[in-house]
Amino acid sequence: MAPLIALAACSRPQSPEVLIVTVDTLRADRLGYAGHAAARTPALDGLAGEGRAFLQATTPFPRTTPALASMLTGLWPHHHGSREVGQPMTSGTTLASVLSAAGWRTVGLSATPVAGPEQGLAAGFDAFEVMADARASEVVDRALLAVDAQPDRPLLMWVHVADPHFPYLPPDDGPLRPDAPRCRRLGEAAEGRRGKRDAIYADRDGRSSAALEDCRALYDAEVAAVDQAVGRLLAAWRERRGTDGWVVFTADHGENQGEDGLWYEHGPSLDDAAWRVPLVVVGPGVVPGTDEGVARLEDVAPTLLSALGLPPPAMDGVDLGPRLRGEPGGPSVALAESGSALHAGMSGYVVAGRRKRWCVHANPWSWCTDRGAHTLHDRRTDPDLRVDVAAAHPDVVAAMEAVALTWPPESARQRGARDDRFELVGRPRAEGGYAWTLTDRQGTPGEDVSARFPEEVERLRAALEGWGTPARAEEPDAATLEALRALGYVE
């Protein structure tokens, strides 16, 4: 028997092995291969050079749980059921379930408890471990144990690391070690009272914007440390598992660093900063190069299943196979919805906060509910929302109540559609409906070109309307509209 066992242990599995590495909160534009001069990402740059790098890839939802559930199931958030961070999936078949049934050994490691068994993301994994708040290097150390295991069956391994999340605290012995005192102080403040996070994310006292340069340096240092750890994983994978399998590298979402008025946070905004994700695919038959077309996180599972010759379950994503070979094909439009603003003081959003404590914001007023008690604040004199002036402004209170009826907490989300040139984003308006902005990647960054390309606005809006997300955007009744108009909210 012994020689047979030895022979089995030495022979490599026939089916291709699959490694998926995801990095939480990793902006697509902060990698060396994407043109970021300050990046120190040699491992990921090398990987991009070996495979297909999708430079305009996107997430369908810029928060962890919905995004990763879409990557694993190939379904849109309103189809797998997770539409907020931590919210469990309610349907869908994961890539791991399909591969496990087809004979793969499936191993998952996640550095965040909002991407694990409690949300259904561990479905189909023979082994899954959540290493809450572990650094990428620790997660990789653990991953290497599975990489080194005897290859009795082909391996699917998913490794999710979470280092570049705010507060940015790169390791002291990492490849980049900036001082960055202003951002370090901001991070310390964020660790304190919950209200501080509102102030930081909204730049209420100007400290977030003043710390931008420092925060970018710390963020780059976090990403460099991730690259170093992922580099170790990739090297070990090739050595132990060979180079004829598939490697996918991507992120769940990016991070706003001032874009759309949001600082060091992601979720309620569909700015490119959080909407775009890096996506690199390496595997047999992949023609190395870059691709600027539409590619989506929900396309990862159908692409891998097609590459492995396994029939996919019903999925919203499509096979990027032709594009991996440098040919036309794949999706022509990417659709997304944002999360809601989870912190009550995010005054750049119409409604912010969660069920117990939330505010309606319409310049210059904030009408807040805290466990059922209502207050009104004038942000011109009370930016921290401490002084209740409701008694003096019953008309404003009435108008704000109307806004709250139009947009109940967690319903006000941005919606977006993009193709290989244009991006359309709708932002909820206090009076109902959305304010739409069209930008052209071939034109001036950030410039609204809706008036010049009305047919593109209509086309992308139609795509969003056909998406079928349960959005709430009714126009208010005539009396409410008149009250809002009197207060200057409606033109």
Q: How far is the CB of 136 from Zn ion (least distance, A)?
A: 14
Q: Does 203 bind Zn ion (CB under 5 A)?
A: no
Binding segment for Zn ion (CB under 5 A), chosen from 60-68, 101-109, 330-338, 433-441, is 60-68
Tell me the closest approach of the beta carbon of residue 115 to Zn ion, in angstroms. Answer: 7
Compare residues 67 and 402 and give the one whose CB is closer to Zn ion.
Answer: 67
Annotate 275-313 with b (16+ C-beta within 10 A) or e (fewer).
Answer: bbbbbbbbbeebeeeebebbbbbbbbbbbbbbbbebebb
Q: Which stretch binds Zn ion (CB under 5 A): 57-65, 195-203, 204-212, 471-479?
A: 57-65
The answer to whether the beta carbons of residues 431 and 406 sit under 8 Å apart is: yes
Q: Which is nearer to Zn ion, 414 or 437 (CB)?
A: 414
Tokens linked to 444: 């001036």
Pick 227 or 319: Cβ nearer Zn ion: 227
User: Over the Cα atoms of the chain, what is R_g?
Assistant: 23
Which is closer to Zn ion, CB of 66 or CB of 170? 66
Single out the segment in contact with Zn ion by CB under 5 A; choices: 249-257, 340-348, 402-410, 415-423.
249-257
Residue 22 vs 94, nearer CB to Zn ion = 22
Which range of residues in 61-69, 143-151, 327-335, 452-460 is near Zn ion by CB under 5 A?
61-69
User: Minimum distance from CB of 252 to Zn ion (Å)?
Assistant: 4
169 versus 236: smaller Cβ distance to Zn ion: 169
CB of 257 to Zn ion, least distance (A): 15
CB closer to Zn ion out of 85 and 471:
85
Residues that bind Zn ion (rule: CB under 5 A) add up to a total of 3
- The residue (of 222 and 252) whose beta carbon lies closer to Zn ion is 252
Minimum CB separation from Zn ion for residue 161, in Å? 11
Minimum separation from the CB atom of position 266 to Zn ion (A): 7
Task: Pick the stretch among 88-96, 183-191, 210-218, 245-253 that binds Zn ion (CB under 5 A).
Answer: 245-253
User: Between 252 and 419, whose beta carbon lies closer to Zn ion?
Assistant: 252
The whole-angstrom separation of Cα 248 and Cα 266 is 23
Binding segment (CB under 5 A) for Zn ion, from list 18-26, 195-203, 281-289, 414-422: 18-26
Whole-number minimum distance, CB 160 to Zn ion, in Å?
A: 9
CB-based closest residue to Zn ion: 64
Helix-helix angle 181-190:194-201, to 10 degrees: 140
Query: Least distance (Å) from Zn ion to the CB of residue 84?
Result: 12
Cβ proximity to Zn ion: between 24 and 129 the closer is: 24
Stretch 376-405: interaction string toward Zn ion, x if CB under 5 A: ------------------------------
* β-pair partners for 53: 280, 290
The single residue among 163, 252, 255, 431 that binds Zn ion, judged by CB under 5 A, is 252
Give min distance, CB of 142 to Zn ion, in A. 20
- The answer to the question of residue 64 lying near Zn ion (CB under 5 A) is yes
For Zn ion, the closer of residues 115 and 282 by Cβ is 115
Least distance from Zn ion to the Cβ atom of residue 135, Å: 16
The per-residue b/e assignment along 247-264, b for 16 or more CB within 10 angstroms, e otherwise, is: bbbbbbbbbbbbbbebbb
Provide the minimum distance between the beta carbon of 377 and Zn ion in the complex, in angstroms, as a whole number: 31
> Which CB sits closer to Zn ion, 64 or 93?
64
**What would the 3-class secondary structure string for the chain be?**
CHHHHHHHHHCCCCCCCEEEEEECCCCHHHCHHHCCCCCCCHHHHHHHHHCEEECCEECCCCCHHHHHHHHHHCCCHHHHCCCCCCCCCCCCCCHHHHHHHCCCEEEEEECCCCCCHHHCCCCCCCEEEECCCCCHHHHHHHHHHHHHCCCCCCEEEEEEECCCCCCCCCCCCCCCCCCCHHHHHHHHHHCCCHHHHHHHHCCCCCHHHHCHHHHHHHHHHHHHHHHHHHHHHHHHHHHHHCCCCEEEEEECCCCEECHHHCEEECCCCCCHHHHECCEEEECCCCCCEEECCCEEHHHHHHHHHHHCCCCCCCCCCCCCHHHHCCCCCCCCCEEEECCCECCCCCCCCCEEECCCEEEEEECCEEEEEECCEEEEEECCCCCCCCCCCHHHCHHHHHHHHHHHHHCCCCCCCCEEEECCCEEEEEEECCCCCEEEEEEECCCCCCCCCCCCCHHHHHHHHHHHHCCCCCCCCCCCCHHHHHHHHHCCCCC
222 binds Zn ion (CB under 5 A): no
Cβ at position 170, least distance to Zn ion in Å: 18
Window 23-52: contact mask with Zn ion (x via CB under 5 A) = -x----------------------------
Binding site for Zn ion (CB under 5 A): 24, 64, 252
